[in-house]
Structure 1
Amino acid sequence: MTDSFAVNKANWDERAVLHAASPDYGLARFAADPAHLSGVVRFDRPRLGDLTGLRGVHLQCHLGTDTVSLSRLGAAMTGLDFSGAALAEARRLASAAAADIDFHEANVYDAVDVLGAGRFDLVYTGIGALCWLPSAARWAAVVAGLLRPGGRLFIREGHPMLWAHDEGANPAVLRYPYFEHAEPLVFDDPETYVAVDRPIEHGLTHSWNHSLGEIITALLDHGLTLTAFTEHDSVPWNGWPGQMVRDEDTGEWRLKDTPSRLAASYTLQAVKTG
């Protein structure tokens, strides 16, 4: 499994620089507007509630756009990612946005050792994170280890139904596993999900899917209680070019034809019991 993380780290180190320069991430807006929030956090603003004074950690934080956004909503945030290149961009963003955020470079599975057990009121995971981890159970153990009793997990993620579809085909075509699988899905793709000015040289990636049942069961097994779960017909990127349309108000993408056919993402909340 170490090889898979090394493969993915090379890919994300290269993506970080390209993503930071991409207009789709819009990093300059965070410095220009002190009230600006990332689209992902803005989408879930009603579900996040009051974060004032909470100690939060954003796992797999990438460029830190969601991390800075949560900080702007009042949380004292820590960010963790395995890509040093991404964290360099995240620190630049936080500095430009006048956000006091503590960033750490580490594999998410090592987060408790790096950050300490039971320190956080909020564990946040943004969209497109769990697919890079081979085991939902190991991830859930990390979440439980980081949270204090009564602390909350908040996750917005791509739906495993979406991950199981072939994005280059009709949405009705199921090509990839829905349930967790031991061997990774291997892709070699010179493109990424935002507009960039050159192809990616380290395009090789390893990824995994995890069913909703496996994710929820893993959290229950590690002492968390599910408190909220909402499925959405939209996702923050164009999952099927030519077949999805962007909502100008939310920035989210959904199927042009009967979007209710596809559960594209979900928001899940759970609390660590005492």
Structure 2
Amino acid sequence: MTDYLSLNRANWDDRAAAHASSPDYGVARFADDPAFLSDVVRFDRQRLGDVSGLRGVHLQCHIGTDTVSLSRLGADMTGLDFSGASLTEARSIALAAGAEIDFVQSDVYAAREALEGEFDLVYTGIGALCWLPSVRRWAQTVASLLAPGGRLFLREGHPVLWALDYDRTDGVIALAEPYFEQEQPQIYDEPGTYVATDHAFTHSVTHEWNHGIGETVTAILEAGLVLTGLEEHQSVPWDALPGRMRRIDGGEWQLTEKPERLPHTYTLQARKPV
């Protein structure tokens, strides 16, 4: 297998500054408004509940906007990501926001070796799992990081969404990519990114994997965690299907026609037994 880590890291290093400067991430608002939260964290605010005083780690934190948001809700946060360029932006955003967060560079599978102690909260946000070849190995890593009684909180793009044919222009919602995890990655060469930017990207090839809902839940259960919540949503926090979606409240997007036919995202929660 091609070194997917180096390939994907180069892609995310390339994206980091462009994302931090894009209006879609609203980075300046973290410095200007002490109460500002990212759209992703705000969407799940009620599901998160009270996180005050919890020791939390945000896996695959990218430029840290969700990490800063969780810190503002009272959690003692650490952010972990494999992209050094992303963590440079994350540290800058946290400093401007007045948030004390430790950012650690590591591949998510090596998180147990890179981080000290156990955590009350392991948080993973949108667009993270598709960069990992094995969801079982991810779940085992999560379980190793959690303290007894600790909680996993995951909001992710739905595997049905990831499997769609994005090139169709006839309005038909059709599956074209694997729904289930495959040994070999899906290889993409896309010059742009998911936010508004005029940045010219030089590292456009990525290797990605889909993970079905059943595979993800089974991996979590096999890792010894107890599932406490699974909710599918009819919206996603970016324009996932350009030309076929409309913007709704809270920075979310959904299909313009019959959004009820597509699971856009999901929120999953699990706990480590005491």
TM-score range, shorter chain: over 0.9
Mapped partners of 1:123, 1:225: distance in 2: 14
> Counterpart of 1:191?
192
Mapped partners of 1:47, 1:198: distance in 2: 35
Mapped partners of 2:4, 2:211: distance in 1: 17
Q: Deviations over 1:41-85 (max 9, x none)?
A: 000001000001000000000000000000000000000000000
SS of 1:250's equivalent?
A: helix
Q: Following superposition of structure 1 onto structure 2, how do residues 1-274 of structure 1 map, counting pairs within 5 Å?
A: 3-116=3-116, 119-169=118-168, 170-247=171-248, 249-274=249-274
TM-score (norm 1): 0.98
Say if 1:11 and 1:171 are closer, same or farther in 2 by CA, change over 3 A: farther
How far did 1:171 drift? 4.9
The amino acid that maps onto 2:192 is E
How far did 1:9 drift? 0.3
Q: What are structure 1's unaligned runs of at least 5 residues?
A: none
The amino acid that maps onto 1:21 is S
SS of 2:239's equivalent?
A: coil
The amino acid that maps onto 1:250 is G
Q: Deviations over 1:212-254 (max 9, x none)?
A: 000000000011000011100100111111110000x211000
The answer to whether the 8 Å contact 1:168/1:240 transfers is no
Mapped partners of 2:43, 2:93: distance in 1: 21
SS of 1:263's equivalent?
A: coil
SS of 2:70's equivalent?
A: helix
Q: What are structure 2's unaligned runs of at least 5 residues?
A: none
Mapped partners of 2:202, 2:173: distance in 1: 31
- Count residues in correspondence: 272
Question: How big is the alpha-carbon RMSD for the aligned residues of Structure 1 and Structure 2?
Answer: 0.9
